[in-house]
Structure 1
Amino acid sequence: MNQLDVPSFFAPQNVDKVWRVPYQTRAIEAKQWAKHHNIKPSAEDKTKIILLIIDAQNTFCLPDFELFVAGKSGNGAIKDNIRLCEFIYHNLGIITTIAPTMDTHTAMQIFHPIFWVNDAGENPQPAVTMIHLEDIQQGIWKVNPTIANNLNIKYETLQKYTQFYVKKLTEDGKFPLTIWPYHSMLGGIGHALVSSVEEALFFHNIARHSQTHFELKGNNPLTENYSVLSPEVLTNEQGEIIAHKNTRFLQQLLNFDIIIIAGQAKSHCVAWTVDDLLKEIQIKDPKLAQKVYLLEDCTSPVVIPNIVDFTPQAEAAFQRFAEAGMHLVTSTNPIETWDRITEVLGAQNLRP
């Protein structure tokens, strides 16, 4: 399991930029790389390892985009993605599958400004507005009537649903309904993966004959979807289903011997995805938590200076995951030094 070198074309200084991946050139290089390093197709892997990358998209990872995850350092997502790319290249020969999640939105969703208006016809300010039950009950924020028409839902029905929704978030211990800037817009450049990450995934795809597994989330207009495994709310006030858990992808994850997780943001989409994964693991078999490895140096929390800092919530969540049996690791340490890895590679006994 010796680490491979990083290909010479990888340029850390370009991780914070948008550019076109030269697919055909990289495909030729990937085939040569595989031949030179005797890298076998992923189908031959005896130990199946999946790298789950949460929302490594321009909208979260580049400073000029809508929801840059700066972390405490101010350049968190950039440094995270440099380390993530290097981790992929170093471990190209043993990572079986890479699965990037793609936060996917349109304008008229419950967490975007246009969904809400006040008596003056103004939309809430993004990133600083959180809508609570009393805000709706007191009429501070109301559903924009044009939203109901576009969603083909009666206005009164939609208004009643929003009261149920924010109450449900509180009861379930979720974050309050946050109004976010328009982000990860389907069809837009912000929706795309960071170019350097996309390049690394494509290189792995060709070198290992392993199709990158893209997993889209977040396009339901009536609920937030921080976790790739489940929307925040699944039913309306009548108990009617409005969204579904991603049980298909959950089972795919658990079929791997080792699950490695990185991405953005540590306090939100990463934390809630791991939390949902842990809940399902605890139902099936708590020992399965031991197959999960969290790349702590490839994820950062949401920090908006002078407004909000979610670092404590992120750290508390990761501590809880570790106490449940998951492993907190760093990308710069060789995989063979990670706790229990040798045991897993030898016994391969962690499949459900």
Structure 2
Amino acid sequence: MNSLPSPSFFDSEKVSQFWRVPYQKRANEAKQWREKYQITSSVEDKTKIILLLIDVQNTFCLPDFELFVAGKSGNGAVEDNIRLCQFIYRNLANVTTIAATMDTHTAMQIFHPIFWVDEKGNHPQAGITMISYEDVKQGRWQVNQNIANNLNISWQKLEKYALHYVKQLIENSKYPLTIWPYHSMLGGIGHGLVSSVEEALFFHSIVRSSQTQFEIKGDNPLTENYSVLSPEVLENKQGEKIAKKNTQFLNKLLSYDKVIIAGQAKSHCVAWTIEDLLTEIKQKDPNLATKVYLLEDCTSPVVIPNVVDFSAQAEEAFQGFADAGMQRVISSAAWRK
């Protein structure tokens, strides 16, 4: 089917804001849209296409929120989501399923300030503190005893785990433990999808009779979870499981004929998810990489002026994905069944 227009209710000026989606009104309009353009149910798709959206949540995508992904332009995530919404509406009849990951946190997690204290009882400064193996080994940063009480783990055991954790990050060539601002908090506004994107997903769901799939990640207090497919650390020092891979969702992705990926941030959760997907593809059949499409203009790297810029790391990762056979594309490219 040829590209469809965006519905009249879509307003690019509202993508940077949060607001209530009028579900019933959009459902009625979706029925009319389906009839006007003779759009069939997703179950009739001969080519099955899944659009995977990584953490398109207020906390990462709105300028006034905790971890806004500004990218190089300074307004990256907003610009990405304008293009993303337009892509969804344009390809409404082509995309079979949309899956959205939901970064989900509570206060007392290993990457939040309250988890750690120095010898004076001060918490690390969020956003600029990275805790290394040497920091923990030498006691510059220790586990907050109150955290142990809340997690029902002895402080001594949690201290040993923390040392093991930061060591594992080094050995697995991951980013050092970053202490992030409190973000994407369960029950808070930041946890919700960007309103314009949520509206597009709901509209797609009704038009195509295709339930949006939501994948929760990041709620384990003992590990970071950049990738929706696997947490950063799976076991404690004794080899006991503390988390597990999302094998069910991984297999679901690979069951589709095309996998299209967008979201935030290109240098972190997007890159880590694609890396895990590629690792599985290489084990199963390297040729499967060619069915993965990376929407380059619907994702941005973490850039904090005068603090940190992950653009180079993001580019290196995406070039590696392309070298393995994945396809780097832009959202305005023609998509056909």
1:280 aligns with 2:280: yes
Distance of 1:138 and 1:172 partners within structure 2: 21
Q: How far, CA to CA, are the matches of 2:171 and 2:141 in structure 1?
A: 20
Aligned partner of 1:55 in structure 2 is: 55
Distance 1:286 1:52 in 2: 20
In structure 1, distance between residues paired with 2:5 and 2:63: 29
Partner of 2:81: 81
Matched, 1:245 2:245: yes
Letter in 2 for 1:178: T
State the aligned residue count.
337
Q: CA deviation at 1:298?
A: 0.1
Match in the other structure for 2:126: 126
1:221-300 alignment, distance < 5 Å: 221-300=221-300
Q: Partner residue of 1:25?
A: 25
Which residue does 1:165 correspond to in 2? 165
Distance in 2 separating the partners of 1:33 and 1:137: 61
- Matched to 2:295, the amino acid is L
- Residue 113 of structure 2: aligned partner: 113
Tell me the distance in 1 between the aligned counterparts of 2:278 and 2:15.
31
Indicate the residue corresponding to 2:12 in structure 1: 12
Superimposed CA distance per residue, residues 139-178 of structure 1 (whole angstroms, 9 cap, x where no aligned partner): 1110000000000001000001011000000000000000
For 1:319 and 1:264, the matched residues in 2 are separated by 17
Matches within 5 A, 1:211-226: 211-226=211-226
TM-score (norm 2): 0.99
Once residues 208 and 7 of structure 2 are traced to their aligned partners in structure 1, the CA distance between those partners, rounded to angstroms, is 15
Give the Cα–Cα distance (whole angstroms) in 2 for the partners of residues 317 and 7 of structure 1. Answer: 35
Map Cα deviations across residues 207-238 of structure 1 (whole Å, 9 max, x no partner): 00000000000000000000000000000000
- For residue 335 of structure 1, what is the aligned residue in structure 2? 335
Residue 71 of structure 1 is matched in structure 2 by: 71
Query: Which residue is equivalent to 2:325?
Result: 325
1:278-311 deviation line (CA, Å, top 9, x unaligned) = 0000000000001100000000000011000000
Residue 350 of structure 1: aligned partner: none
- The structural deviation recorded for 1:138 is 1.4
Q: For the residues of structure 2 that align with 1:223 and 1:80, how far apart are their CA atoms? A: 28
Whichever residue aligns with residue 155 of structure 1, its letter is: W
Aligned equivalents of 2:88 and 2:13: distance in 1?
17
Give distance in 2, aligned partners of 1:136 and 1:270.
28
SS of the equivalent of 2:64 reads coil
**Structure 2 Cα separation of the partners of residues 133 and 260 of structure 1:** 37
Q: Distance in 2 between matches of 1:146 and 1:126?
A: 19
SS at match of 2:26: helix
Letter in 1 for 2:224: E
Q: Which residue of 1 aligns with 2:200?
A: 200
Aligned to 2:3: 3
**What SS does the aligned partner of 2:213 have?**
coil
Residue of structure 2 equivalent to 1:339: none
Q: CA deviation at 1:95?
A: 0.3
Query: Which residue is 2:151 aligned to?
Result: 151
**RMSD between aligned residues:** 0.5
Structure 1 counterpart of 2:128, one-letter code: V
Q: Which amino acid aligns with 1:15?
A: V
Q: Distance in 1 between matches of 2:323 and 2:36?
A: 42
Q: Structure 1, residues 252-302: CA drift from partner, whole Å, max 9, x if none?
A: 000000000000000000000000000000000000001100000000000
Shift in Å at residue 119 of structure 1? 1.1
Letter in 2 for 1:172: N
Alpha-carbon deviation of 1:332?
A: 1.1
Moved over 3 A (4+): none
1:328 CA displacement: 0.1
Aligned to 1:96: 96
1:206: Cα distance to partner? Answer: 0.3
Deviation, structure 1 residue 111: 0.0
SS at match of 1:175: coil
Residue 137 of structure 1, CA deviation: 1.3
Distance 1:201 1:107 in 2: 29
Secondary structure in 2 matching 1:232: coil
User: What do the CA deviations read for 1:45-104 (whole angstroms, capped 9, x no partner)?
Assistant: 011000000000000000100000000000000000000000000000010000000000
* Secondary structure of residue in 2 paired with 1:214: strand
Letter in 1 for 2:67: L
Partner SS state of residue 241, structure 2? coil
Structure 2 unaligned regions, length at least 5 = none
Distance apart, 1:333 and its partner CA: 1.6
* Distance apart, 1:334 and its partner CA: 1.4
Report the Cα distance in structure 2 between the residues aligned to 1:308 and 1:173, rounded to whole angstroms: 19
Distance 1:154 1:24 in 2: 50
Q: Distance in 1 between matches of 2:175 and 2:127?
A: 13
Corresponding residue of 1:43: 43
| Inter-partner Cα distance in structure 1 for 2:154 and 2:305 | 39
- What does residue 142 of structure 1 align with? 142
**Counterpart Cα distance in 1 of 2:135 and 2:286:** 40
